[in-house]
């Protein structure tokens, strides 16, 4: 098994009331496996805990989150892994494509910067090699005008810029 989530519980500390810490339980004991070379979709209604479950895997939750259970990745429990070890896994073995480009892409970075970061950090490429690879990747997925796109930054929104 590539990834095995076992009885994962996630609670958010919400502050004290009468000296008593209040917690909101967001994930209430979820278990599932992801076999190698497979595509698995986690489906559920809004607010059911899909994002919190996914963010638990790489420990990308805010500081007031408490996780319990097991997240086994190639035999290692990611809930027990140190931050440096986790940083070696993030972006290299497990990556996250975030839902909302407006809050998840840094407007200071170009498209090239965003794509090159894991290639330089994790794949040992030089910036020059990474730039060539970034253009190839945009081509591979059929993005038109890849050279122009590489220099682009996240803009506010397509509709707004075309109507302006």
Ligand X SMILES: Nc1ncnc2c1ncn2[C@@H]1O[C@H](COP(=O)(O)OP(=O)(O)OP(=O)(O)O)[C@@H](O)[C@H]1O
Q: Determine if 25 is a binding residue for ligand X (CB under 6 A).
A: no
Residue 32 CB contacts under 8 Å (≥ 6 apart), including other chains? 4, 5, 40, 42
Q: Is the alpha carbon torsion for 153, 102, 104, 140 positive or negative?
A: negative
Which of 2, 6, 9, 12 forms a contact with ligand X (CB under 6 A)?
12
Cβ 24 to Mg ion, closest distance in Å?
16
Element (H, E) at 131: helix 127-140
- Distances from the Cα of 91 to the Cα of 74, 76, 101, 132, 154, angstroms: 16, 17, 17, 19, 20
Which of 11, 51, 58, 134 forms a contact with Mg ion (CB under 5 A)?
51
The one segment of 50-58, 76-84, 111-119, 155-163 that binds ligand X by CB under 6 A:
50-58
Cβ 144 to ligand X, closest distance in Å?
29
Q: Determine if 53 is a binding residue for Mg ion (CB under 5 A).
A: no
Pick one of Mg ion, ligand X, none as the site partner of residue 46 (Cβ within 5 to 8 A by kind). Answer: ligand X
Q: Residue 106 half-sphere exposure, CB side, CA atoms within 13 Å?
A: 8
Q: Which positions touch ligand X (CB under 6 A)?
A: 12, 24, 26, 44, 46-52, 62
């Amino acid at each position: 098994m590539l990834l095995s989530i076992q009885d994962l519980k996630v609670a958010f500390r919400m502050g004290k009331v009468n000296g008593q810490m209040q917690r909101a339980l967001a994930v209430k004991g979820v278990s599932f496996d992801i076999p190698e070379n497979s595509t698995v979709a986690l489906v559920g209604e809004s607010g059911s805990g899909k994002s919190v479950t996914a963010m638990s895997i790489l420990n990308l939750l805010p500081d007031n989150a408490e996780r319990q259970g097991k997240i086994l990745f190639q035999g290692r429990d990611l809930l027990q892994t140190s931050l440096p070890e986790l940083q070696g896994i993030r972006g290299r073995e497990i990556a996250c494509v975030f839902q909302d480009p407006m809050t998840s892409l840094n407007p200071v970075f170009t498209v090239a910067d965003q794509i090159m970061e894991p290639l330089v950090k994790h794949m040992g490429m030089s910036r020059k090699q990474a730039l060539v690879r970034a253009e190839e990747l945009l081509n591979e997925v059929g993005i038109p005008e890849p050279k122009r796109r590489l220099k682009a930054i996240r803009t506010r929104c397509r509709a707004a810029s075309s109507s302006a």
